[in-house]
């Protein structure tokens, strides 16, 4: 089985190879196994008995053989479906897909053909079938719950005013049950409409509602504890709360034997959750990215992983394993520190981690107190962040073409503007600031009261940037290599190549967009890819292999 110790790394990289396999340069060391799933969101059993998994961040749907953990990509990236967040199966075996970001609902017929059911649903997420009938709700404040008609016909609105809907299901009484994520409630309504009825209030961050084979209601929480609340609807309404430790639960499905399987938006994977809260991993969890990376003074590696800050597993532990009773030993999976929505850039600064969000803010996380403080908001896709000599934060505002400084009192100063697409920033020992400009294919040094100086140009989409000694290193995602530049002699050389960065090849179909559009720039409204790099105290480099879900360690060898 794939989840045994002997086959810990049996899931291949999405690039199908070992980083640096070209042989001209030393191969980097993987700090964790490649992640088999690009996050795991909606899950549902198909007519063939396999568990189907919507990979929202990867634009794919995979099928899992629960007996062995084998994966089969059924809906590849690059097709009409861009950001599948939930899925359901109709009576005839058709798969219905909620394509969240474009706002579309698709039907994939038993023969694999696609047809558009609707493009009139805003943020479609929760989706379910009752026989041949199809229902979907909207994940937004004031959202709707609708019935859609795959063979034609206008949508019918059953109810409005959802406080962000999500995964829903028909209950034993025939009603549709659905969560209000914001108001922490569970509601139900007849499939034929009528007045909605409140079922449960003050439920911890409900993201999905599911019934087991015995008709017991299970409500999943999206928080870090992995909580599932069981509610007795047939008697007293009593509740039992299980804590699984599966961070960022997203969805659940019960098989014919009433075994419960759960997914995680924060780290992917598929996990069996037992009635007592113990877990058994079917598909291991991993990094959704990773994107920005930083190394603390003690050598701890931190990665910005879109939904969280996480570190690779401790060295020397098994990549995956099971304890004596068959439950999961978590030592081989990334260690989460904090859930941090849409985090992309990261910089360690003593007990603090400074973070950027692709949706416009800069935050500081205090690792000692476990508190988060927003420093700046409203920026245009801030990415890389570094700590300047004076303690200020310097941020690459990718969408705005600027480099900004954020003072300790959170006052913002523009250091440079009019750049193409700045992605990352770094400082040398003399306190000089460097920036990677992905669009210009150049590394720049910012000069006070003077135009920026080109340090290196002709590069292929440089992103991550760091300084180690007298060398400046960048990740060229366009050429999938690490490039070094001497800051004293201006000599440049390659340190590693054939790296799994920038997104793997996709099954590009007519009208679906190119690989560059899908991955280098990010699926519309989704994570913009960012291959970060950081210098470690031991003289090594750590970089984000965002194309396969690993962190790599590289020992630079200098010019050849």
Could you report the per-residue pLDDT of 157-173, keeping only the tens digit for each? 999 999 999 999 999 99
Could you report the per-residue pLDDT of 427-443, keeping only the tens digit for each? 999 999 999 999 999 99
Mean pLDDT of 176-184: 97
Mean pLDDT of 13-22: 66
Mean pLDDT, all residues of the chain: 89
Domain ranges of the chain: 36-283, 293-319+330-554
- pLDDT at position 331: 53
Lowest-pLDDT range of 111-115, 314-318, 403-407, 416-420: 314-318
- pLDDT at position 328: 34
- pLDDT at position 326: 30
DSSP codes, 335-364: EEEEEEEEEEEEEEETTEEEEEETTS-EEE
- pLDDT at position 526: 57
Mean pLDDT of 102-128: 96
- pLDDT at position 325: 30
Q: Is the peptide bond before 560 cis (omega within 30 degrees of 0)?
A: no
Above 70 in pLDDT, residue 59?
yes
Q: Give the DSSP letter of residue 515.
A: H
Lowest-pLDDT range of 96-100, 155-159, 276-280, 483-487: 276-280
Report whether CATH 2.120.10.30 matches the domain 293-319+330-554.
yes
- pLDDT at position 329: 35
Could you report the per-residue pLDDT of 295-342, keeping only the tens digit for each? 998 999 999 999 999 999 987 654 433 322 332 335 578 999 999 989
- pLDDT at position 528: 79
pTM to 2 decimals?
A: 0.90
Architecture of domain 36-283: 6 Propeller (2.120)
**Percentage of the chain with pLDDT > 70?**
89
Above 60 in pLDDT, residue 224?
yes
Angstrom CA distances, 552 to 34, 266, 301, 375, stand at 11, 20, 11, 30
Distance CA 456, CA 445 (A): 10
| 293-319+330-554 has the same fold as 36-283 | yes
- pLDDT at position 2: 36
Distance CA 208, CA 181 (A): 9
Structure tokens at 310: 């996480």
């Amino acid at each position: 089985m794939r989840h045994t110790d002997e086959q810990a790394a049996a899931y291949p990289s999405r690039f199908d190879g070992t980083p640096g396999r070209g042989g001209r340069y030393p191969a980097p060391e993987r700090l964790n196994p490649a992640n088999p799933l690009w996050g795991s969101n909606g899950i549902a059993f198909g007519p063939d008995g396999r568990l189907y998994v919507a990979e929202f961040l990867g634009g794919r749907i995979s099928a899992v053989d629960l007996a062995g953990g084998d994966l089969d990509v059924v809906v590849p990236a690059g097709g009409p479906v861009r950001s599948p967040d939930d899925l359901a199966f109709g009576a005839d075996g058709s798969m219905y897909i909620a394509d969240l970001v474009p706002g579309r609902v698709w039907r994939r017929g038993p023969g694999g053909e696609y047809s558009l059911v609707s493009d009139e649903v805003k943020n479609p997420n929760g989706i379910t079938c009752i026989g041949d009938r199809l229902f979907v709700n909207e994940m937004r404040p004031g959202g709707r719950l609708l019935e859609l008609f795959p063979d034609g016909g206008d949508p019918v609105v059953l109810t409005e005013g959802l406080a962000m809907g999500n995964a829903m299901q028909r209950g034993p009484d025939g009603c549709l049950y659905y969560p209000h994520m914001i108001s922490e409630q569970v509601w139900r309504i007849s499939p034929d409409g009528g007045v909605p009825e409140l079922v449960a209030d003050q439920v911890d961050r409900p993201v999905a509602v599911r019934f087991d084979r015995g008709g017991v209601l299970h409500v999943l929480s999206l928080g870090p504890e992995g909580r599932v609340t069981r509610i007795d609807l047939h008697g007293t309404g009593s509740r039992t709360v299980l804590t699984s430790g599966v961070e960022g639960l997203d969805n659940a499905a019960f098989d014919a034997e009433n075994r419960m399987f759960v997914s995680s938006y924060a780290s992917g994977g598929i996990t069996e959750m037992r009635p007592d809260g113990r877990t058994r991993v079917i598909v291991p969890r991993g990094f959704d990215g990773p994107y920005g990376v930083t190394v603390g003074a003690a050598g701890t590696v931190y990665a910005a992983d879109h939904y969280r800050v996480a570190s690779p597993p401790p060295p020397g532990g098994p990549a995956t394993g099971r304890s004596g009773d068959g439950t999961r030993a978590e030592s081989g999976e990334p260690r989460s520190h904090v859930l941090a929505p849409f985090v992309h850039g990261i910089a360690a600064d003593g007990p603090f981690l400074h973070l950027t969000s692709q949706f416009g803010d800069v935050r500081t996380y205090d690792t000692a107190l476990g508190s988060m403080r927003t420093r700046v908001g409203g920026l245009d896709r801030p990415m890389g962040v570094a700590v300047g000599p004076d303690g200020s934060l310097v941020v690459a505002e990718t969408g705005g073409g600027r480099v900004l400084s954020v003072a300790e009192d959170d006052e913002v100063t523009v250091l440079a503007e009019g750049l193409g697409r700045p992605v990352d920033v770094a400082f040398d020992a003399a306190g000089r600031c460097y920036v990677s400009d992905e669009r210009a294919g150049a590394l720049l040094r910012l000069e006070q009261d003077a135009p920026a100086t080109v340090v290196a140009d002709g590069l292929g989409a440089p992103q991550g940037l760091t300084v180690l000694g007298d060398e400046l290193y960048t990740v060229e995602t366009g050429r999938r290599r690490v490039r070094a530049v001497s800051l004293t002699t201006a000599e440049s050389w390659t340190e590693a190549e054939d790296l799994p960065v920038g997104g793997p090849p996709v099954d590009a179909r007519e009208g679906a967009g190119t690989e560059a559009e899908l991955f280098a720039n990010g699926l519309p409204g989704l994570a913009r890819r960012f291959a970060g790099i950081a210098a470690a105290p031991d003289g090594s480099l750590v970089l984000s292999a965002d194309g396969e879900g690993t962190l790599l360690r590289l020992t630079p060898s200098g010019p050849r």
